[in-house]
Amino acid sequence: MSEQCHDRRVMATWVGWPLLAMLSMMPLAAAARQGPTAMATDAAKLSSRVVAPLPKLEDFRWRGTAQQGGVVQGYRPASVAALWLGDIAISVADDGQFLMAFDRDAPSMMKLTVRMKDGREHQLAMPVSAGKWRIEHVNAPMRGAAASSAEFTRRRPAELAQIQEARAQEVVSDGWRQIFQWPVTGRFSGFFGAQRIYQGVAGSYHSGTDVAVAAGTPFVAPADGVVVLAAASPFTLEGNLLIISHGMGLSSGFLHCQRLDVKRGDIVHQGQRLGTVGATGRATGPHMHWGVSWRGQRLNPGDFVERRVSGGA
């Protein structure tokens, strides 16, 4: 019942995508190959049956901006059967809605492959705008010592396998359709995508958003989902790690937790208490590190909270 209400609100906020609309007006490769003569001779054949035109980007309905670390939602035209972003197969819901997202380091132009219900396939060029990342200078050597300790080396492969397995789990949830909320609010102490430079040496970028709050502060589910990992004992880096899948390959990770109040397989609802914030694993103080990923793409959690606001209601 609330679902209907939700859908109506979602429909009202769908907006055009001017940049994409502009670019998709460039002649498609297929159209360019087919000269006027070919079109004339085909006209007789086509007159006896209706062939759906190959859709352009503006024939989809979009919400959000295609930018590094960002997410967009779309509705496919009825003639479209399947979609791929680069090599990633996009899951499309029964109502035609889908989600796709762009890694922090996604290229400036990506390929959207469209397979029509009649079997034809074609590709659309999808421009991806550049993200703006902070540079954080750290006056300390890159943390190599801990990372190369014997215990870390021994434990890490199994931890990474668990994380990978959890993220790959397909669950049934409509959380991916929701406007997300922050799991906890407070001072931002780390920004998604920030490039860390350790005494002049570039380290890896920050893969989530950090919110610094007192240890023991409860945190909640940013959207509906299913628990796919609830670490029974602290991971070396992530500490007490919780991962929730929101459906369609979209997942949230919560790091350094003090305590987890849910277990693997639990269905959780937006706003439900999941546990408390801590400083377990590799953390210099209590904070919530919230990371979001979609089919291997690292995403900016803030984009999931704020995209509907910028879309206009």
User: Which is closer to Zn ion, CB of 56 or CB of 289?
Assistant: 289
The one-letter amino acid at 115: R
What is the helix (H) or strand (E) element at residue 39, kind and residue range? helix 36-47
Q: How far is the CB of 188 from Zn ion (least distance, A)?
A: 10
| Per-residue mark of binding to Zn ion, 26-55 (x: CB under 5 A) | ------------------------------
Q: How far is the CB of 27 from Zn ion (least distance, A)?
A: 45
Our finding on whether 103 is near Zn ion (CB under 5 A) is no
Size of the site for Zn ion (CB under 5 A): 4
> How many Å separate Cα 68 from the centre of its chain?
10
The neighbouring-strand residues paired with 288 are 211
204 to 223, contacts with Zn ion by CB under 5 A? Answer: 208, 210
User: Which is closer to Zn ion, CB of 208 or CB of 301?
Assistant: 208
**Which of 60, 237, 226, 82 shows the shortest CA–CA distance to 147?**
237
Residue 183 to residues 25, 56, 132, 270, Cα–Cα distance (Å): 41, 37, 24, 9
The neighbouring-strand residues paired with 122 are 114
Q: How far is the CB of 288 from Zn ion (least distance, A)?
A: 9
69 to 98, contacts with Zn ion by CB under 5 A? Answer: none
Gap between the Cα atoms of 114 and 123, Å rounded? 6
Q: How far is the CB of 305 from Zn ion (least distance, A)?
A: 16
Identify whether the C-beta of residue 140 lies closer than 8 Å to the C-beta of residue 211: no
User: Which is closer to Zn ion, CB of 64 or CB of 208?
Assistant: 208
User: Which is closer to Zn ion, CB of 128 or CB of 163?
Assistant: 163
| Per-residue mark of binding to Zn ion, 172-191 (x: CB under 5 A) | ------------------x-
Q: How far is the CB of 206 from Zn ion (least distance, A)?
A: 6
What is the 8-class DSSP label of residue 206?
P
The neighbouring-strand residues paired with 113 are 84, 123
Gap between the Cα atoms of 113 and 84, Å rounded? 5
Gap between the Cα atoms of 239 and 75, Å rounded? 38
User: Which is closer to Zn ion, CB of 289 or CB of 307?
Assistant: 289
Our finding on whether 238 is near Zn ion (CB under 5 A) is no
Residue from the set 56, 63, 289, 307 that interacts with Zn ion by CB under 5 A: 289
Stretch that binds Zn ion, among 34-42, 136-144, 146-154, 203-211 (CB under 5 A): 203-211
**23 C-beta neighbours (distance < 10 Å), count:** 17
Contacting positions for Zn ion (CB under 5 A): 190, 208, 210, 289
